[in-house]
Structure 1
């Protein structure tokens, strides 16, 4: 599979995970009765379809190109899921992850915090967690490689 096809499938995977983050953002539209109950079910379906679709597509892409990724990528001491700031895109995402984690802890500990702030913090945190794993992963590193000279760095 060529890099353009891999990039397209990675973007589709990112889109699926974005649906999950959108479901988190839409949570206040759900409720116990009537239309709000139906909206709650739709939000739940959107959440789980986003996770399932994103994970399936990413892992399928990784498995399909596993040998190529192993051959072209350098051996790292730290697994890609535990690595932070491995490239400039991941550095932005990881920075947002750390800031929104602190913001979510603040929102949990503070009573009466603005609901919009809570939703925005949870949306950004959810999105940045997914992006952390995608942007620090081998598939993204392979796509952004500069003709065998390694991954474009920070």
Structure 2
């Protein structure tokens, strides 16, 4: 029985549906869908983002929508100093995940794949989003990908 995205209440169920939709497609040249997805997920968390994180999100959107990379480059440099490195001991898992989600939004080389979707959604879940909250963003991404 085919999985339905509407009742996907876990990241695994969402990814299962996405992978079914991706089956047989060549997605290797799509390097924007994952950053767009990450930006949408960050926007859902915007009330919990710092001013600097909101600026990074806006820079990521400007890069994706308009090709303006100067601000995005500055935020990549800033985040590169922290992402993937030890954070101070008191830093919450959600705070680290929000920065990783912004990092994904600023990424310019991540090919679209089921694995990339799973990683992005897993980070968003650690940042505080429930899988059911992510479904609309995933649906918009799929609509865009399948339309092309």
Pairwise same-fold verdict (TM > 0.5): no
Q: Which has the higher contact order (CA 8 A, sep 6+)?
A: 2
Q: Which has the higher helix share?
A: 1
**TM-score where L is the length of structure 2:** 0.36
TM-score (norm 1): 0.34
Q: Quick check: which has more Rg, 1 or 2?
A: 1
